[in-house]
Amino acid sequence: MTASSAGRPGAPVSGTLHLVAVPIGNPDDLSPRARDVLRSVAVVAAEDTRHFATLARHHDIATRSISYHDHNEDARARELVRRLETGDDVALVSDAGTPLVSDPGFRLVRAAIEAGITVTSLPGPSAITTALAASGLPPHPFRFLGFLPRTGAARRAALERLRDERGTLIAFEAPRRIGAALADALDVLGDRPACLARSITKPHERYQRGRLSELLDAVRAEGDVRGECTLLIGGADPGDATLHEAEADAALLLAAGAPPRAVQDLLVSHGMSRRDAYAIVLRLRDR
């Protein structure tokens, strides 16, 4: 038990909320410190208690776990804060990686801080930095997007807002949607360098590197894509802003009835490949 109010005589003693990073694939990636904390706390709040049970058996962790997920987060956060206020130490884990990163936990952390409870984070595995390091793309700056929107229209709108982002873009995506996500990224962002990291740290770990068009072709040829997917896309080239302005002009010309071939030539004159220019003209014309 940790005194969050140490140094203040007479102040109530509360427990500590430990945010514990757990393996993203290989169970042996759990750090010794994380294992010790998970063994010592009063309770582990887990996104999926069955998933945590598998990790716990591997490391001989006997601590009781309770569920903490999107559907019970509000009620469970209040319950856990009450336990912390009585002196219990609590650990929060997600299914994989660092808690709160595209996983539940933010409400609990905010509630604990507002209650004056000590909150500490134990560093460890992260699909974001693991994939970035091996991607071959510039490691900084980068921008993490979480999961891309599920629907095509929302996904394309989100990508449109990121067209001028200079940093490497990193997103999680479900295997069944990765093909559609790659197609939308290619159409909206252009044929940028990219990396698709799959099943990171697991026996079937795979890094696919190349242009977005090459990754899309590979995924389509594969058919049934499996494994957790982390998609990394190169940032905007400094010259892209000029191309975006040219595309805006192209949209106005098409709306005014200009011939598609003339609009394509305009885009090519700004340094765009004829293939990309043709694809953009088709997209603008079909809006």
Q: Cα dist. 183→116, 214, 217 in Å?
A: 47, 11, 10
Residue 39 lies in a domain: yes
Exposed, middle or buried by CB within 10 Å (0-12, 13-18, 19+), for 275?
A: exposed
CATH number at residue 164: 3.30.950.10
In this prediction, residue 255 carries a pLDDT of 86
**What pLDDT was estimated at residue 142?**
96
**b/e sequence 87-109, b meaning 16+ C-beta within 10 Å:** bbbbbbbbbbbbbbbebbbebbb
Question: Per the domain annotation, does 11 fall within a domain?
Answer: no
DSSP structural state of residue 123: -
4 is a domain residue: no
Same domain, 118 and 155: no
pLDDT at residue 5, rounded to an integer: 45
Strand, coil or helix: 215: helix
Any domain includes 146: yes
CATH of the domain at 103: 3.40.1010.10
101 inside domain: yes
- Evaluate whether 87 touches 1 at the Cβ level (below 8 Å): yes
**Would residue 35 count as lying in a domain?**
yes
Same-domain status, 174 and 212: yes
What is the model's pLDDT at position 211?
96
Q: DSSP for 130-181, please give it.
A: HHHHHHSS--SSEEEEEEPPSSHHHHHHHHHTTTT--SEEEEEE-GGGHHHH
Residue 8 lies in a domain: no
**Which amino acid, 62?**
A
| pLDDT at 76 (0 to 100) | 96
Asked whether the CA dihedral 73, 78, 83, 84 is positive or negative, the reply is positive
Q: Which of 79, 102, 125 is the last residue of a domain?
A: 125
Print the domain residue range for 106: 16-125
CA distance 30 to 56: 10
Domain boundary among 125, 150, 183: 125
Q: What is the structure's pLDDT at 1?
A: 45
Q: For the beta carbon of residue 189, count every other beta carbon within 10 angstroms.
A: 21
In tens digits, what is the pLDDT along the chain, a chain of 287 residues?
444 444 345 555 789 999 999 999 999 999 999 999 999 999 999 999 999 999 999 999 999 999 999 999 999 999 999 999 999 999 999 999 999 999 999 999 999 999 999 999 999 999 999 999 999 999 999 999 999 999 999 999 999 999 989 999 999 999 999 999 999 999 999 999 999 999 999 999 999 999 999 999 999 999 889 999 999 999 998 666 566 677 788 888 888 888 888 888 888 887 778 887 888 888 888 76
Reduce the DSSP state of residue 77 to 3 states and report it. helix
Give the single-character DSSP code of 275: H
The whole-angstrom separation of Cα 40 and Cα 216 is 47
Residue 188 lies in a domain: yes
| Separation between Cα atoms, residue 142 and residue 163, nearest integer Å | 14
Q: How far is CA 84 from CA 8, 49, 177, 266, in A?
A: 18, 20, 40, 64
26 and 84 in a single domain? The answer is yes
Looking at the structure, do residues 142 and 117 belong to the same domain, yes or no?
A: no
Is residue 69 within 8 A of residue 80, CB to CB? The reply is no
Same domain, residue pair 266 and 247: yes
Q: How many domains does the chain have?
A: 3
